[in-house]
Structure 1
Amino acid sequence: MEKHIDNSSTSELVKKLAQRLIASGKTIATAESCTGGNIAHNITLLAGSSQYFLGGIVSYANEVKMNVLGVRKEDLEKYGAVSQAVVESMATGACQTIGCNYSVATSGVAGPGGGSDEKPVGTVWMAVSDGKKTVSKLWHFDGNREEIIEKATKTAIFMLLEIVC
C-alpha cells in the first residue's frame, strides 16, 4: 500500500476522494491528534469541499479525546493516546459527533521528542470508520516533525479513499 501512496501527491488523492464522495453523496470528517488539523486543511484546499467535508476535531489533549470524541479514560490510561483502542474510538466518535458517513483519525508521535522504545518518533495509529465498522493500522514514518505529519496526512487520505464507496 505505501508504494501506491507514494505514486500520488496528496492533492491528487484529495481530488480522487472528492470525486468518489460527490458521486456517492457521502460525507467525511476528521479526528486528528498528531496531524494537528493537517488532514482537514488538505481536504479543504480543494474548492467545493463543503459538499462532502462536514468538519474536523483536533483532539491534541486527552480531555478533548474523552469529552468530545468519547474516548474512554480507561483506554487512555491502559494503552496511552497513541494506541489502536484510542484511535478507533476517535474515529467512531467523530462519526457520531459530527454525523458523517466516514471519518479518519490519527494519533501518534510526530517528534522530535515524546518518543519511547515502545512508541518511537514516527509511530502513528490511524483508523477509518463508517460509525459501525472501524479499521485501524499502525504506521511508522521516517523524517522530521513536518515530514512525519505530511506522510501521515497523505496516508490518512489514502485510507479514507480505500473505504469510500
Structure 2
Amino acid sequence: GVNAADLEKYGAVSQQVVEQMAIGVKKAMNVDFAIATSGIAGPDGGTADKPVGTIWIAVAGEFGVKSELLSLYKSRERNIRVTSLKVLNLLRKILMDK
C-alpha cells in the first residue's frame, strides 16, 4: 500500500506515491513485475503545480522501481491512451535490458 503520510505530503500524483503503488502491487500479487500510473487525465482537476496532463508512471521489479514523469495533453482520452503506451514501453525497455 501507499504510506498515508506520503500521500498527504506529496499527493496522489507524485513520484513517491506511484512508486509505492507499483511496489505494493508487485508484493500483493506476488508477480515479477508490476506497473502503476497516477495522473490528472483531464479535462478538469489540474492546478498550477500539477496541470492536466501531469502523469507519473512506474514499473517495479527485482531491480527495485523505475518511474517517469509525463507532461501530456488536455485530452482525457489521449492522456489515458498515451499513458498506457508509455508505461508498457517502460516495462518493455526494462525487459530488453534484462
Which residue of structure 2 aligns with residue 76 of structure 1?
Answer: 7
Q: Gaps spanning 5+ residues in structure 2: where?
A: none
Scaled by the length of structure 2, the TM-score of the pair is: 0.93
Q: Deviations over 1:94-119 (max 9, x none)?
A: 10000110111100000011000100
Letter in 2 for 1:129: A
Same amino acid, percent of matched pairs: 44
SS at match of 1:88: helix
Q: Deviations over 1:127-162 (max 9, x none)?
A: 111155101110011141001100001101101101
Aligned residues: 96
- Larger Rg over CA atoms: 1
Residue equivalent to 1:114: 45
Moved over 4 A (4+): none
TM-score, normalising length: structure 1: 0.56
The answer as to whether partners of 1:110 and 1:148 remain within 8 angstroms in 2 is yes
Given that residues 13 and 38 in structure 2 are in contact (C-alpha distance below 8 angstroms), is that contact kept between their aligned partners in structure 1? yes
CA distance 1:73–1:131, change in 2 (3 Å): farther
Correspondences of 1:68-147 after superposition (within 5 Å)? 70-130=1-61, 133-147=64-78
Please point out which of 140, 145, 151 is paired with 2:82: 151
Cα distance between partner residues in 2 of 1:156 and 1:132: 16
Answer yes or no: is the 8 Å Cα contact 1:95–1:131 preserved in 2: no
Q: Counterpart of 2:38 in structure 1: which amino acid?
A: S
- Gaps of at least 5 residues in structure 1 are 1-69
Please give the root-mean-square deviation of Cα atoms over the aligned residues, in Å.
1.1
| C-alpha contact 2:41 2:74 (8 A) present in aligned 1 | no
Q: SS of the residue aligned with 1:126?
A: strand
Query: For the residues of structure 2 that align with 1:131 and 1:74, how far apart are their CA atoms?
Result: 26
